[in-house]
């Protein structure tokens, strides 16, 4: 499904395949569940797919196993590539898949026929028309919500089914797509445009720089220099791919990191705020509550209690 072993070339030696499971529901859709571990961090460029004439590829990437060792390695990985996320791309577009070193990664990939997807969405499809223009080169990336993360782990760990296995996988796959499109419906309404490969690469360089600057805001001049774009173009295209403005995206990452520091590293609220560059803890608390629905002290107490 877009990534046969023969296409990996010499990089195949860097991968250990723990599991691969393909559920062929074509011509409507195809589901692949793959669990691998890489000896060294490397990037693989996926070639265009021709399994269906017109379709989309939904790649649920970097789903970490629940083992404590993998969670620790995940926490130590600073790159945004380590965060569970979804990439949506047309089948004719090449894309990159990153395999981090020594971390067991489970990926779920859904290939779906465009006409079938439109029928599934029904009367609400007009809101997602930008995804259905097969002539444009669009790349959409979305963070994985807790609901989606729970469901992908259920799908990834389904035991062998003797009865109605295809029906069960189809049900869960459509449920996952429903959750994803519910998230996509909250995106800012903008006019989408086709992107060149160099523009996509530039936007990901900016995204990575933002991710690696969680302790302070990345200066606008630096982002302009990294991207090679003017400010207006950078802001527009960044929002198109990632669904959030640059400042909003940066704050989202900082609040996700704040939650991780309190939950996994057992930092206090004040320690967390100062580590992330906040000098005003009241402002940090308000921002955290906006993103997580409760004040950081209460959130920390609840989540530490769950882990006991």
pLDDT single digits (tens) 48-76: 888 888 899 999 986 655 444 544 454 44
Instruction: Say whether pLDDT at 124 is over 90.
Output: yes
> Using an 8 Å Cβ cutoff, are 218 and 209 in contact?
yes
Band of pLDDT at residue 308, cut at 50, 70 and 90: low
What is the Cα–Cα distance from 206 to 140, expressed in whole angstroms?
15
What is the Cα–Cα distance from 274 to 280, expressed in whole angstroms?
9
What is the Cα–Cα distance from 28 to 18, expressed in whole angstroms?
27
Residue-level length of the chain: 308
Give the pLDDT of residue 190. Answer: 85
pTM equals 0.84
What is the Cα–Cα distance from 98 to 79, expressed in whole angstroms?
11
What is the Cα–Cα distance from 137 to 197, expressed in whole angstroms?
9
Tokens of 95: 């894309």
What is the Cα–Cα distance from 209 to 128, expressed in whole angstroms?
29
> Using an 8 Å Cβ cutoff, are 249 and 289 in contact?
no
Strands (E), the chain: 15-25, 29-38, 42-46, 55-64, 85-90, 95-99, 105-113, 140-143
Please name each of the domains of the chain with its CATH number. Answer: 5-184 (2.60.120), 197-307 (1.10.10.60)
Give the pLDDT of residue 78. Answer: 46
What is the Cα–Cα distance from 210 to 223, expressed in whole angstroms?
9
Instruction: Say whether pLDDT at 6 is over 50.
Output: no
What is the Cα–Cα distance from 104 to 98, expressed in whole angstroms?
12
What is the gyration radius of the CA atoms in the chain, in angstroms? 20
pLDDT digits (tens, 9 = 90+) for 165-206: 889 999 999 999 999 999 999 998 888 889 998 999 999 999
Mean pLDDT of 152-161: 82
- In order of 8, 22, 86, the CA distances from 90 in angstroms are 21, 20, 13
What is the Cα–Cα distance from 170 to 168, expressed in whole angstroms?
5
> Using an 8 Å Cβ cutoff, are 169 and 31 in contact?
yes
> Using an 8 Å Cβ cutoff, are 246 and 233 in contact?
no
> Using an 8 Å Cβ cutoff, are 153 and 35 in contact?
no
Give the pLDDT of residue 100. Answer: 77
Give the pLDDT of residue 275. Answer: 92
């Amino acid at each position: 499904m877009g990534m046969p072993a023969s296409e990996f070339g010499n990089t195949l030696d860097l991968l250990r395949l723990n599991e691969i499971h393909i559920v062929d529901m074509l011509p409507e859709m195809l589901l692949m569940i793959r669990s691998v571990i890489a000896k060294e961090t490397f990037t693989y460029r996926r070639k265009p797919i021709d399994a269906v004439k017109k379709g989309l590829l939904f790649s649920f990437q970097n789903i970490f196993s629940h083992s404590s060792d993998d969670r620790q390695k995940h926490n130590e990985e600073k790159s945004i590539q380590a965060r569970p996320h979804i990439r949506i791309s047309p089948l004719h577009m090449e894309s990159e898949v990153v395999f981090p070193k020594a971390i067991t990664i489970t990926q779920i990939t859904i290939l779906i026929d465009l006409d079938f997807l439109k029928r599934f969405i029904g009367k609400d499809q007009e809101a997602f028309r930008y995804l259905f223009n097969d002539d444009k080169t669009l790349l959409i990336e979305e963070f994985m919500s807790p609901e989606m993360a729970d469901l992908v782990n259920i799908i990834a760990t389904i035991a062998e089914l003797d009865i109605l296995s295809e029906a069960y996988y189809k049900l869960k796959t459509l449920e996952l797509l429903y959750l994803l499109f519910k998230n996509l419906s909250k995106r800012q309404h903008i006019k989408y445009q086709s992107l060149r490969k160099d523009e996509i690469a530039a936007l990901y360089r900016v995204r990575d720089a933002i991710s690696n600057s969680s302790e302070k805001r990345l200066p606008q001049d630096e982002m302009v220099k990294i991207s090679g774009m003017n400010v207006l173009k950078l802001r527009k295209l960044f929002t198109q791919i990632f669904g959030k403005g640059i400042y909003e995206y940066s704050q989202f990452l900082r609040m996700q990191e704040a939650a991780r520091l309190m939950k996994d590293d057992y930092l206090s609220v004040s320690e967390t705020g100062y580590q992330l560059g906040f000098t005003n803890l009241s402002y940090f608390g308000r921002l955290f509550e906006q993103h997580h629905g409760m004040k950081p002290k209460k959130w920390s107490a609840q989540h530490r209690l769950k882990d006991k």
